[in-house]
Every structure is written in structure tokens, then in C-alpha cells.
Chains A and B, each alone.
Chain A
Amino acid sequence: RKEVEQDPGPFNVPEGATVAFNCTYSNSASQSFFWYRQDCRKEPKLLMSVYSSGNEDGRFTAQLNRASQYISLLIRDSKLSDSATYLCVVNLNNNNDMRFGAGTRLTVKP
């Protein structure tokens, strides 16, 4: 089983739609999780950390389900500028040994 798994997509949604991505991880001892965003031919950049209680940043909501070992990212009111690849990241051993999922590609269309 891969350390971090994501549905590669692509997700094609209209502007204004709500879209959700899930990511599963294999190491039950992992304590910290992140979502990164990667634009085409650019380097990944941090979108948001994922806290145990769940957290929200504007239109973006991240949640953690430890029992099922998955994290999710919800994007409300999608914008054209949200088109990118979203990477799930798990801090493998709580020693900043970070592993990335393969990413989920999102395209928001007019």
C-alpha cells in the first residue's frame, strides 16, 4: 500500500461548484497533514495545514478522520483560478519526513 494515496482525477467542475478531494494514508502514527497546490509547470506551495479539529480558510475546508486514516479538502464556490493540482502531504514519522500524494487535478470551467 502506498504511504499516501489520492484519486488523480481529473475533476472538471463549473464555476461556483463545490468539490471535495480525499486522501488516505497508511501510517496510523502520522500526526500532521497538509494540502499543497501545484500550478502547471510550477513548484508546489502550501495551501493549508490540516488540524485535528478541522480548519477553514475562506472557501477552503480541511478535515482529518484519524479512525479511517484520511484527510479531505473541500472547495466551495469554485473559481477559475482554483484550477491546479492539489497534493496531499503526510508527515510520516512526525520528524518532518514528508510524503506527497500523486495529486488530484482540478479544472474549473466557465
Chain B
Amino acid sequence: GAGVSQSPSNKVTEKGKDVELRCDPISGHTALYWYRQRLGQGLEFLIYFQGNSAPDKSGLPSDRFSAERTGESVSTLTIQRTQQEDSAVYLCASSLGEGAFTEAFFGQGTRLTVV
């Protein structure tokens, strides 16, 4: 079946522009995660959605970053006034959200380059 889908796969933008990244989770997955991975670095937690609960936004690095999710479907991550340090791969993952040992499945990521 279909996995986690992210778009665009690559995005080059000018400093100061806004960008919107999209994630389509696996159907039926209530939990959705956004992570950032800079070149050669580990995964940096950004935000976590679980069903209709308030999202855990504790990882968002600044108020230029925001994310939304409608119900248990698509999520968008928006970065306003992009800066060069925002260049990274943005990874989305989803999981069933039930039970403690639920596997998270990742999309292939959006590679963002701010020039």
C-alpha cells in the first residue's frame, strides 16, 4: 500500500521567502511527526500530532515555523521568512498511534535549500 508521501521532494528558495511543505501520512495513522535533519546531523524533533489532541510544538525552533494538520490527514509545515540555516531535509513520519510499540514510517523527505 501507499507509504508516507512528502512534497515537494526538493525545494530551492530565496532567503526571506515563505515555504510550505506537505505530508500525506499512511491512511488510518493517527500520529504524525515532523523532524529536521541538517547535513550530517541527527534528527531534530519539530512537532507531533496525535489525533485530535493539542499538538506537541515544543521542538519548533522559532515562531517562523508552524504546522497544521486537519483531522488525521494531511499536514503542512510552513516556514516564514526563510533563512539559510533552515536548509535541511524535513522528514515526516506517521504511526498508528495505538500501543507503545507502534512503528513510525517515514516519508523520503523534502530537501530544502535556502539561497
| B-binding residues in A (CB < 8 A) | 6, 8, 31-32, 34, 42-46, 49, 87, 89, 91, 94-103
State in angstroms the CA–CA spacing of A31 and B109 once bound together.
28
Taking CB atoms and an 8 Å cut-off, the chain B residues in 2-61 that contact chain A are 31, 33, 35, 41-43, 45, 48, 50, 56
Whether B104 is near chain A, meaning CB under 8 Å from some CB there, is yes
B97:A43 contact, CB within 8 angstroms: no
User: Can you list 18 pairs linking A and B with CB atoms under 8 Å apart?
Assistant: A6-B42, A8-B42, A42-B108, A44-B91, A46-B103, A46-B104, A49-B103, A91-B100, A96-B31, A96-B95, A98-B33, A98-B95, A100-B42, A100-B45, A101-B42, A102-B43, A103-B42, A103-B43
Are A43's CB and B95's CB within 8 A? no
Asked if A100 and B43 sit within 8 Å, CB to CB, the answer is yes
B84 within 8 A of A: no
Q: Is B106 an interface residue (CB 8 A)?
A: yes
Complex Cα distance, B95 from A59, in Å, reads: 27
